[in-house]
A and B are shown apart, each in its own frame.
Chain A
């Protein structure tokens, strides 16, 4: 992926004493973003199926089953 040449550091990395820290932080933030995204999504999923959709399927089903009790 990286086009960085071996044995040569980019200026920013050379200037950073603990160059692992920013990467770790970034991963941490990404993980928390992922958690938040899923929490937001699952909040809706947990609401289940609103009645309007069950009723809609019943209605569409009945249209094709006229005469059926």
Chain B
């Protein structure tokens, strides 16, 4: 199909953020890039359903998120894969997931339930409003707010517990700040 230049620019403009979202969701750069590619193919095949003037990024995020969810459900049926296993994979292959300094943080993020993780990323990193995030995830605004709150609380617990040999405010703060490098 011929791609309108403004549509093309809007899509390409959203790709960097789509990739960051996809990597945060699935934990692997390779899988994330496949996910983004599948999203773009789907988006262009259904470009008629995009309303010009509305937020292209939000539309693409919705497609990617729904596609990831259906793939994830399929994979769970095929292989028993729990969040713990996923977290271990992340820890053992840090070079595949970007800079080492984020390894600890990614591992903690990976331990969150998927619905909390996606809500936190959409609001806390992608810069969507609660309303936009609710639209992307197909749920109520209140649901997004409570998922984000639970995600933040759990993440703080995970980072603090993970980094603090001697539990205390300084260690907890330090752990959140820099992670730790014990093996």
User: What CA separation (Å) do A50 and B155 show in the bound complex?
Assistant: 30
Q: Considering only CB atoms and an 8 Å cut-off, how many residues of chain B contact the other chain?
A: 41
Contact B124 A56 (CB under 8 A): no
Contact B177 A60 (CB under 8 A): no
Instruction: Kindly provide the distance from the CB of A52 to the nearest chain B CB, expressed in whole angstroms.
Output: 7
Cβ of B169 under 8 Å from chain A: yes
Cβ of B160 under 8 Å from chain A: yes
User: What CA separation (Å) do A54 and B106 show in the bound complex?
Assistant: 28
Contacting residue for B24 out of A29, A41, A50, CB 8 A: A41
Contacts of A30 in B (CB 8 A): 152, 156
Cβ of A61 under 8 Å from chain B: yes
Given A32-B173, A53-B15, A53-B37, answer yes or no on A60-B125 (Cβ-Cβ < 8 Å).
no
Cβ of A26 under 8 Å from chain B: yes
Contact A33 B98 (CB under 8 A): no
Contacts of A14 in B (CB 8 A): none
Q: State the total of A-B contacts with C-beta under 8 angstroms.
A: 103
Contacts of A32 in B (CB 8 A): 173, 176-177
Given A29-B176, A38-B125, A61-B3, answer yes or no on A44-B20 (Cβ-Cβ < 8 Å).
yes
Contacts of B23 in A (CB 8 A): 44
Chain A residues 16-35 with CB under 8 Å of chain B are: 25-26, 28-30, 32-34
Contact A57 B37 (CB under 8 A): no
User: What CA separation (Å) do A40 and B177 show in the bound complex?
Assistant: 13
Contact B98 A64 (CB under 8 A): no
Across the A-B interface, give the 10 residue pairs with the lowest CB-CB distance, nearest first. A64-B1, A41-B125, A44-B20, A64-B2, A45-B16, A40-B102, A61-B3, A32-B176, A41-B20, A49-B15
Given A29-B176, A40-B98, A52-B33, 4 extra CB contacts under 8 A? A45-B19, A53-B37, A57-B11, A60-B1
**B interface vs A, CB < 8 Å?**
1-3, 8, 11-12, 15-17, 19-21, 23-24, 33, 36-37, 40-41, 44, 98-99, 102, 105-106, 109, 120-121, 124-126, 152, 155-156, 159-160, 169, 172-173, 176-177
